[in-house]
């Protein structure tokens, strides 16, 4: 199975970073970066094991991407596991695991995504995308402190 890992540090508490993943208003800010709109009315999050989430990204070219998933594990504010796909018609889902640890100066986030069917090029592009997302998240969580 294809897998990617990203570790980032944030100048914020684990709770602030966890909230960025689980609060719809905050998630809409960083998911997709500044160039993409995730309208609040398209976003829902039932943050509990077995709960679902969905979001629609409105791209600059007027196309959109529908994202769906399910929460598998929720242990605030240090651990979150959820599924993700941009093709809701398929049963295959990526699995994202987020672990948050308090460190000097803030929080270290370790994120892993298992992505069935991804090739190395797709993984590389996904890492680039996430790092852009997390740049926005970094500003968001620092402002929330």
Question: Under CATH, to which class is 2-143 assigned?
Answer: alpha beta
pLDDT for residue 1: 74
pLDDT for residue 83: 96
Residues constituting the chain:
145
End-to-end alpha carbon distance in the chain: 37
For 47, other C-beta atoms within 10 Å of its C-beta total: 17
Residue 40 above 90 pLDDT? no
Mean pLDDT over the full length of the chain: 93
Global confidence as pTM: 0.94
Q: Nearest-5° angle of CA 33, CA 87, CA 123?
A: 60
pLDDT digits (tens, 9 = 90+) for 76-130: 999 999 999 998 888 889 999 999 999 999 999 999 999 888 889 998 999 999 9
Pairwise CA distance, residues 31 & 132, whole Å: 9
Residue 33 above 90 pLDDT? no
């Amino acid at each position: 199975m294809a897998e990617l890992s990203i570790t980032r540090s944030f100048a914020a508490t684990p709770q602030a970073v966890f909230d960025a993943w689980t609060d719809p208003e905050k998630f809409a800010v960083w998911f997709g970066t500044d160039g993409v709109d995730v309208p609040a009315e398209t976003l829902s999050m039932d943050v509990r094991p077995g709960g679902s989430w969905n979001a629609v990204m409105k791209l600059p070219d007027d196309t959109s991407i529908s994202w769906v998933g399910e929460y598998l594990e929720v242990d605030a504010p240090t651990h979150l596991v959820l599924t993700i796909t941009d093709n809701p018609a398929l049963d295959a889902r990526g699995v994202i695991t987020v672990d948050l640890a308090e460190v000097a100066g803030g929080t270290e986030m370790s994120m892993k995504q298992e992505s069935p069917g991804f090739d190395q090029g797709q993984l590389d592009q996904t890492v680039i995308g996430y790092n852009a997302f997390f740049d926005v998240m970094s500003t968001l969580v620092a402002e929330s402190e």
